[in-house]
Amino acid sequence: MTTHFITAEIDLTESPAKLNQAIESELKKRGEPLRWAITNVDAKQEKATVEAIVTNPKSQI
């Protein structure tokens, strides 16, 4: 098992109630999220940048 630092862009057109679910869904595509944080929000493009640490049993992302 390996850990990786990743950055992902999340679309903010979802409702705020579904934002957490949208972030976790995107991160799970790359591994099992250990922790994550929203580090930037671009209001014009309606995108949030999320930085995360994920584990991956295959050691490939």
* DSSP label of 31: S
- Using CA atoms, how far apart are residues 35 and 14, in angstroms rounded to an integer? 21
- Using CA atoms, how far apart are residues 40 and 21, in angstroms rounded to an integer? 18
Mean pLDDT, all residues of the chain? 89
Residue-level pLDDT at 17: 81
Q: Where are the domains of the chain?
A: 2-56
Residue-level pLDDT at 59: 55
Q: Per the structure block, which two tokens stand in for 8?
A: 């992902």
What digits encode the pLDDT tens for the residues 28-40? 999 999 999 999 9
Q: Extract the residue ranges of the chain whose pLDDT is less than 70.
A: 14, 58-61
